[in-house]
Structure 1
C-alpha cells in the first residue's frame, strides 16, 4: 500500500496509533461492562466490525479511506480484544487459571502464524486488496459464530463454580478481590501498570516493523515471513509451560524473566543480517512473548482478584493503549528521519529490561480487614 500510494511509513502507521489510543479510552467503559454483563455481545459486535473494516480496506482509494477504516478497526480491537482473555478466563478459573489462559492464548498465536502466511501467499499471486478482503472473511468465519455461541460471563451465572470448587465448603481457597478504588491505593498496581505499558510499547514496535526492518536490511520477504511465523509457533508450547508454571511460581518473577529475555532478543534482532539470525530472533522472541502474554493476563487477577478485573484493567487501558500507539508511530518517525530502526530498537531493549526490574518490586497486596 505504501508503495502504490506513495505514503510514508509514519503516515501509514498514524491511524492505527490514533485508534489504539481511542480504544484505550474506550477500555474504561468496556472493562466494567464485561464485568457486569459479560463479553459475548461486546465481542460479537467487535468481531463483526473488525471483519468489515478488513474487507473495506480492500477498496481503499485514498488516505482518508485508510484513516477512517484503520481508526475504527483499531479502536474496536484495542478496547475489546486486548482485554477479553484477561477478563473472561480469570472469572472461570482460580487454581487452574494459568493453564486456562495459556490454552486460550493459543488462538491468538495461531492467528499470528496464519495471517502473515496467508497475506504473503495472496500477495505473491494477487494484490494487497485481495489479501485484506480474504482476512476480513476469515475473521468472520473463524470467530463470530463461536463467540456468540460459547462465550459466557462467569460460572456463578449458570449454577457453576470456578475450577469445579465448592466455594461454600472450601472458602479458604477463594482469592481476595479488590475494587477499583482499592487498587488505586496499591503500589503494586502502579508498578505493574507501568511495566505493562512498557511491554505494550516494545512488543507493538517490534511486531509492527518486524517485516519492514528485515526486508530493508536485505532479508527476503519469504525469510522475513518465516521469522514472523516462527515466533508464535514457538510461543505456543512455551505459553502452556508458562501457564502451568504460573500456578506454582510467583507470577511477577515469571513476567520479569520474560522482560529480561525480550531485551536480549531485541539486541539479537539488531544483528539480524542473515536468514539464520532472523530466524533465531523469531525463536527467541517467541519464547519471551510465550511467557509474557500468558502471565500478563494472569497477574492482574492473581494480585487483585476476579470480581472487578475488567474495571481494574480498564483503569490501565488508556495508558496501555497510548504506549501501544506510540511505539509503532515513534519507530516509523525514527525510520523516516534517519532511515534506520536502530535507535528505537535500542530504546525498546532498555525499556524492556527496566520493566522487568519494576515487576520484581511489585509485591502482592493484601486486603486490610481494618
Structure 2
C-alpha cells in the first residue's frame, strides 16, 4: 500500500527535530552550566548567545519564507543540516567567548535553514483537515529529543564538552542529510493531493455547492489583520518561558536548588515525557476544538509551571513544573503554526510565518536575557523567572482576542 508522501515528510521532520532538540535546544542549558563553571563566563554572556541565535533566526525569517515559497524546502534544509553540524564542530575548537558566539551564530544559521520553520511550512502545505495531527506527530521528534538530554549531559561530564560538540556535529550531518532529501514542495507538483485524499467531485447541476474553499491571504493582507499581530505576540510570550527554561533551568536547579547536572538533566527528561503526552493530546484534540482556547490554557500552564520551578524547594514542586510545562509546550507548539494556516491559508504561509518570526523573536531574545541579567544582578533566578512567568500567563488574553479574520 502506497504511503502518502506527506506522512513521510512528517517522519523526516520529526527526525530533524529530534536531532536539534537533543543536541541543542534542550541541551544548551547543560553547555551553559559546564562552560560557566569551567571557563568562568557569566550567565549574561552565555545567555546572550542564545538571544543572538533567536535574533538571527528572526532576521532571516522573512527571507527564508520568500525562498521556501518560491523554490521549495529541500535544498534549504540540506544546507541547514550542513551548517548545523559544522557549527558544532567549530564549537569544539573555541577558546574565547567571541569564538563561542561565532560557533553559535553558525549553528543558528543551520537551525534557521533546517529547523522548526522550514519543515513546518513544508508539512503545512501537504495537510488541511489533518494539519494539527500532522504537526503534532512531527513534534514528537522534538519531544523525544529531550529524552536523550541526559546522554548529552553524561557525555559532557565523561568526555568533555569539546568531544561532545564535535561528535554532535558529525551525527547531525550523517543522519540529517538523508532526512532532508525526503522533503518536497507542494503535493500538486508531485501528482498528489492535500491530505492524500482524492478531490471532491464537482456538484451536479442544481445541486448545492460544497463548502466554499478557504480564503488564501497574501502576506500583505495578513499583515493588515489584527489576528496576525495577536498570534505573533502570544507566541512570543510563550517563548519567554520556553527559551528561559532551555537556557537557565539546569543552572537554576544546580545553583539554586542544589541539584547535580545529572539530576537536573533527569528533570528535563521528565519534562520531555510530559511534552510527549502534550503532543499526543494535540494529536487527539488539535483539529477538534478551538485552537485559541487550547493555546490560552497552555499559556496559563506555562506561567504557573515556571513559578513552581522558581520557588520549588521541594522535589514535588519541581516535578510538577516539569509535567505542567512539558505538557503545555507539547500541546501548544504544533497549534502555533496550524492556527496561522487555518486563518491565512497555504499559498503564502512561508512568508507569513517568516514575518511572524520578527514578532516571536521578542520572547526568544528576552526570555534568556532577562533571566541572565537578573541572576547576575541579584545572585539568583527568582526575580527573572517570576517576571517571565507572570508575563507569559498574561499572554492567554492575546490568544482569546485573536479571532479568525
For residues 232-271 of structure 1, the aligned pairs below 5 Å read: 232-271=272-311
Match of 2:85 among 38, 51, 54: 51
With structure 1 as the length reference, what TM-score do the two structures score? 0.93
Q: Deviations over 1:139-178 (max 9, x none)?
A: 2233221112x11112111011111233463763742211
**What is the distance in 1 between the residues matched to 2:304 and 2:361?**
24
1:100 aligns with 2:134: yes
Superposed displacement of residue 182, structure 1: 0.9
1:15 aligns with 49
1:281 aligns with 2:281: no
Match of 2:150 among 106, 110, 117: 117
**What is the distance in 2 between the residues matched to 1:10 and 1:79?**
27
Query: CA 1:267–1:16 in 2, change beyond 3 Å: closer, same or farther?
Result: closer
Kept in 2: contact 1:198–1:323 (CA 8 A): yes
2:122 aligns with 88
**What is the distance in 1 between the residues matched to 2:117 and 2:246?**
19
2:227 aligns with 188
**What is the distance in 2 between the residues matched to 1:47 and 1:111?**
16
Q: Deviations over 1:10-66 (max 9, x none)?
A: 112223322321221111100121122221111111111111111221111122211
Ranges in structure 2 where 5+ consecutive residues have no aligned partner: 1-34, 203-209
How many residue pairs match? The answer is 363
**What is the distance in 2 between the residues matched to 1:144 and 1:50?**
11
Kept in 2: contact 1:85–1:101 (CA 8 A): no
Query: CA 1:355–1:266 in 2, change beyond 3 Å: closer, same or farther?
Result: same
1:346 aligns with 2:380: no
Q: Deviations over 1:235-267 (max 9, x none)?
A: 113212213312110111111111111111112
What is the RMSD computed on CA atoms of the aligned residues? 1.7
**What is the distance in 1 between the residues matched to 2:67 and 2:46?**
32
Q: Deviations over 1:263-298 (max 9, x none)?
A: 111121122223343223211111110111121121
Kept in 2: contact 1:227–1:279 (CA 8 A): yes
1:24 aligns with 2:58: yes
